[in-house]
């Protein structure tokens, strides 16, 4: 298969859990597997992680593993289906500790003057102390916004809400409250348990759901360091942008994140759908400027859950994400529980390759931000200019932490980006970065030797040929004063 620069992330589920299908997914173009911790027991995830690591070694290719924590997901809690109609008033209460029926809630005397409320239907929200963070005028969106309520009265223990769009409220359905100022904290009790498990399995990425601000990212990073007892070779943190509040705080969130995901599912519920694509493009641009990898996710090839070919609109969606220079595009239900997981990945790879060959992928502004890593940004910029003016076919780098590779990738150069590393964590984490092709070596006699080995391997694979010019970067020494050594050489 022809190599692509935009990476593919695939969510693993019942249809893709077997070793055979996982292997086919990787061979078809998957670079990172996503494990959704909203579903599945630890024993199931454990088996997938082990199988992916085995396949990565067998296929001699890096495959990143992303643990996506559930986060503070709010859900309905009702003991039986509740039908609500437009214009009527309902009671909303915090039933996080148990599922409480209408009669049980009224008997508890949480509502003053129960007789005046006895005919009103009651809907529980399953998250501790949620009522205090909701205000009059906030809209409560249930089941992807299909049912809409507006808060018209607030008491200490409950809310009254007017039904704007009715329907049947079922148990355990997702709830979004876009304008509420929640104080959930960085991770939930469930997330804490899942985090302990995934850190023990040395996953490459931890994704935080429903991020609101930079503080949540920073608290989680410190928690990870404390659990692992180290501050190097830790999982990279992915902030999932899916809340209205996250859009307001996007600059600080990007600065506090290693990777950013535009999670368009919940974002399209919290914001008008017509605004989501605009925010997507803005976030990609900001991440490029900050040299932070960015993922576009949700419903990219959604119809392929049931159909063997995508819609024209879906092809356009993936194409535009590639043209905007997202680092990665992500599959969810398509690869987790769809009928055609392998075909979906192959289709996405084909769209990416065809788009990257087109002239529409070529015109890229210079995204250099001199404040990223001060002088080192200028060194990388100079290497990029050298690659363009010399006619080099590739830029070959040694990168222990991945910084050099990420800094170069944010320029989106035309040249191949070949990276040698001796760090297994870096080897897998660079699988999410645009254009990077990574080689893992046990280097015992210097960075120069690692560069030689990378060039030799690239020749064997047909990526380079004798006589090709390559720009060489020996990389930044972590914690050292040496910036980098940059040069140009001809492949023997």
State the burial class of residue 419 (Cβ atoms within 10 Å of its Cβ: 0-12, 13-18, 19+): buried
Residues 6+ apart with CB under 8 A from 363: none
- The pLDDT of residue 224: 96
Q: Are strands 205-208 and 236-241 parallel, antiparallel or unpaired?
A: parallel
| Residue 416 Cα distances to 307, 363, 395, 419, angstroms | 35, 17, 6, 10
In the CATH scheme, what is the homologous superfamily, with its name and number, of domain 375-490? Pyruvate kinase, C-terminal domain (3.40.1380.20)
Per annotation, catalytic residue among 11, 188, 220, 298: 298
Architecture of domain 7-71+185-358: Alpha-Beta Barrel (3.20)
* CB atoms closer than 10 angstroms to residue 274: 8
Q: Which two tokens stand for residue 25?
A: 């997914």
pLDDT tens digit sequence for 57-95: 999 999 999 999 999 888 898 888 999 999 999 999 887
CB 38 within 8 A of CB 172: no
**How far apart are alpha carbons 356 and 244 in whole angstroms?**
32
Domain 74-176 fold? M1 Pyruvate Kinase; Domain 3 (2.40.33)
Q: Which two tokens stand for residue 117?
A: 């409320």
Q: Domain map of the chain by residue range?
A: 7-71+185-358, 74-176, 375-490
**How far apart are alpha carbons 116 and 123 in whole angstroms?**
17
Per annotation, catalytic residue among 240, 243, 292, 447: 240
- The pLDDT of residue 447: 85
- Locate all alpha helices (DSSP H) within 330-446, ordered by sequence: 333-336, 341-357, 375-390, 403-409, 424-429
Per annotation, catalytic residue among 24, 75, 170, 201: 75
- The pLDDT of residue 426: 97
Decide if 438 is catalytic: no
- The pLDDT of residue 111: 47
- The pLDDT of residue 218: 96
Per annotation, catalytic residue among 7, 34, 147, 244: 34
Does the reported pTM lie above 0.85?
yes
- The pLDDT of residue 98: 45
Decide if 11 is catalytic: no
Decide if 298 is catalytic: yes
- The pLDDT of residue 99: 42
**How far apart are alpha carbons 399 and 388 in whole angstroms?**
21
Q: DSSP letter at 211?
A: -
Walk along the chain (492 residues) in steps of 10 and give the mean pLDDT of each run: 89 98 98 96 98 98 97 89 94 67 43 54 86 92 93 91 95 90 83 96 97 95 96 96 95 98 93 94 93 96 97 97 96 97 98 92 53 69 90 95 91 94 96 97 82 94 94 76 76 92
């Amino acid at each position: 298969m022809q190599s692509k620069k935009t990476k593919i992330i695939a969510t693993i589920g019942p249809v893709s859990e077997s070793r055979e299908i996982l292997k086919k997914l990787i061979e078809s173009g998957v670079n990172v597997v996503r494990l959704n911790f909203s579903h599945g027991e630890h024993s199931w995830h454990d088996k997938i992680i082990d199988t992916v690591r085995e396949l990565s070694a067998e296929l001699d290719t890096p495959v990143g593993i992303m643990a996506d924590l559930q986060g503070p997901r709010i859900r309905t809690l009702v003991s039986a289906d509740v039908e609500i109609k437009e214009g009527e008033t309902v009671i909303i209460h915090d039933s996080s500790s148990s599922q409480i029926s209408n009669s049980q809630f009224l008997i508890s005397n949480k509502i003053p003057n129960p007789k005046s409320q006895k005919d009103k239907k009651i809907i529980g929200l399953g998250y501790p102390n949620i009522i205090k963070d909701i205000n009059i005028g906030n809209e409560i969106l249930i089941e992807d916004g299909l049912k809409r309520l507006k808060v018209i009265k607030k008491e200490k223990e409950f809310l009254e809400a007017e039904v704007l769009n009715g329907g049947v409220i079922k148990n355990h359905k997702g709830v979004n409250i876009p304008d509420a100022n929640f104080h959930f904290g960085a991770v939930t009790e469930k997330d804490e348990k899942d985090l302990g498990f995934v850190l023990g399995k040395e996953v490459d990425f931890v994704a935080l759901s429903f991020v609101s601000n930079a503080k949540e990212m920073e608290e989680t990073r410190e928690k990870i360091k404390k659990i692992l007892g180290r501050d190097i070779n830790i999982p990279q943190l992915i902030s999932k942008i899916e809340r209205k509040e996250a859009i307001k705080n996007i600059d600080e969130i990007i600065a506090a994140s290693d990777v950013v995901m535009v999670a368009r599912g919940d974002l399209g519920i919290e914001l008008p759908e017509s605004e989501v694509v605009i925010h997507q493009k803005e976030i990609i641009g900001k991440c490029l400027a900050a040299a932070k990898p960015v993922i576009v996710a949700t419903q990219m090839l959604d119809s392929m859950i049931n159909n063997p070919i995508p819609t024209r609109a879906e092809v356009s969606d993936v194409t535009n994400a590639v043209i905007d220079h997202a680092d990665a595009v992500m599959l969810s239900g398509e690869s987790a529980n769809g009928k055609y997981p392998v075909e979906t990945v192959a289709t996405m790879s084909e769209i990416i390759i065809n788009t990257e060959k087109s002239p529409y992928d070529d015109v890229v502004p210079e995204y250099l931000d001199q404040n990223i890593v001060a002088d080192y940004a200028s060194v990388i910029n100079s290497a990029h200019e050298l690659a363009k003016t010399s006619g080099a076919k590739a830029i070959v780098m040694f990168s222990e932490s991945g910084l050099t590779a990420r800094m170069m990738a944010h320029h989106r150069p035309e040249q191949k980006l070949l990276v040698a590393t001796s760090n297994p964590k870096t080897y897998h984490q660079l699988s999410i970065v645009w254009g990077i092709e990574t080689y893992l070596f046990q280097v015992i006699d210097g960075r120069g030797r690692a560069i030689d080995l990378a060039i030799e391997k690239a020749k064997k694979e047909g990526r380079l040929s004798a006589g090709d010019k390559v720009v060489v970067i020996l990389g930044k020494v972590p914690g050292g004063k040496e910036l980098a050594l940059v040069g140009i050489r001809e492949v023997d």
